[in-house]
């Protein structure tokens, strides 16, 4: 019995093909999308196509130096936002006028102090390791277009009309791969 949530199993079914076959590899997502769009424009059943990002790389862009002052300001601001949020909740739940603007200001101040202290403690614990801020992104360096095996030949014929040179190269690559697999499956021949 499966213990996966039904939404997860449904998304896996949508994001997979029964017997996928490669139609080609593209250097950019736009080129892969153009190929699928071409198939769609020619009435191909594109619900049997999958674009897969391959050769993933993680890029990290360093955005600045991290100093004690920046950490303090960041903690102060995020703590103030937290204090504002808590103060607004108190103001909504308290029917008396005692918790009005003054109550919100007090919770903002407490939140700012709390954020400042915890940010400085966290920075001190790191001991100077990773003294910079950055933004991280995972990107694919190539995109492979896969199609259900039942529709592979039809898709190849359509894409050959889009780019005849790419179609010829794909046939050469497929023939090389078939020959490599054929040679790999043969037992080694003794030397003469």
Could you write out the DSSP letters of every residue in 68-133? HHHHHHHHHHHHHHHHHHHHHHHHHH--SGGGSHHHHHHHHHHHHHHHHHHHHHHHHHHTTSS-EE
Give CA–CA dist 32/35, Å, rounded: 5
Tens of pLDDT along 144-176? Answer: 999 998 998 899 888 888 877 766 777 777 778
2 lies in some domain: no
pTM, 2 dp:
0.56
Distance in angstroms (rounded) separating the CA atoms of residues 154 and 151? 5
Question: Based on the domain organization, do 43 and 75 belong to the same domain?
Answer: no
By residue range, what is the domain housing residue 123? 67-129
Give the domain CATH number at 53. 3.30.70
Instruction: Verify that 168 and 149 share a domain, yes or no.
Output: yes
186 confidence band (pLDDT: 50, 70, 90): confident
Largest CA distance in the chain: 101
The strand pairing partners of 51, in sequence order, are 145
Residues 115 and 142 in one domain: no
Confidence of residue 5 (pLDDT cuts 50, 70, 90): low
Same domain, 78 and 124: yes
Do 71 and 103 lie in one domain? The reply is: yes
Total of domains in the chain: 2
The per-residue pLDDT for 2 is: 41
Mean pLDDT confidence for 175-186? 80
Asked if 50 and 15 touch (Cβ cutoff 8 Å), the reply is yes
Radius of gyration of the chain (CA): 29
- Interval 39-92: pLDDT, tens: 999 999 999 999 999 999 999 999 999 899 999 999 999 999 999 999 989 888
159 lies in some domain: yes
Higher-confidence position of 182 and 30 = 30
Q: For residue 178, what pLDDT band results from cuts at 50, 70 and 90? A: confident
pLDDT at site 111 = 96
Residues 98-147: tens digit of each pLDDT = 557 788 899 999 999 999 999 999 999 988 788 888 999 999 999 999 99
The answer to whether residue 18 sits within a structural domain is yes
116 versus 12: which is more confidently predicted?
Answer: 116
Q: Is residue 186 part of a domain?
A: no
Residues 54 and 147 in one domain: yes
- In this structure, the strands spanning 49-65 and 132-148 are antiparallel
3-state SS, residue 34? helix
Residue that wins the pLDDT comparison between 6 and 146: 146
Q: CA-CA distance, 86 to 108, in Å (whole number)?
A: 8
183 within a domain of the structure (yes/no): no
Q: Compute the distance between CA of residue 165 and CA of residue 160 in angstroms, rounded to an integer.
A: 8
């Amino acid at each position: 019995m499966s213990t996966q949530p039904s939404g997860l199993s449904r998304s896996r079914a949508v994001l997979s093909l029964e017997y996928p076959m490669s139609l080609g590899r593209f250097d950019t997502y736009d080129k892969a999308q153009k190929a699928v769009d071409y198939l769609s424009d020619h009435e191909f059943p594109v619900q049997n196509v999958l674009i897969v990002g391959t050769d993933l790389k993680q890029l990290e862009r360093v955005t600045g130096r991290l100093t004690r002052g920046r950490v303090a300001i960041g903690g102060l601001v995020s703590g103030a936002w937290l204090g504002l949020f808590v103060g607004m909740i108190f103001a909504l739940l308290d029917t008396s006028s005692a918790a009005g603007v003054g109550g919100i200001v007090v919770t903002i101040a407490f939140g700012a102090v709390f954020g400042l202290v915890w940010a400085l403690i966290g920075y001190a614990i790191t001991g100077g390791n990773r003294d910079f801020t950055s933004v991280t992104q995972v990107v694919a360096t190539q995109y492979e277009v896969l199609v259900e095996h039942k529709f592979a030949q039809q898709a190849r014929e359509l894409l050959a009309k889009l780019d005849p040179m790419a179609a010829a190269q794909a046939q050469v690559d497929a023939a090389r791969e078939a020959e490599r697999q054929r040679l790999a499956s043969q037992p080694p021949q003794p030397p003469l």
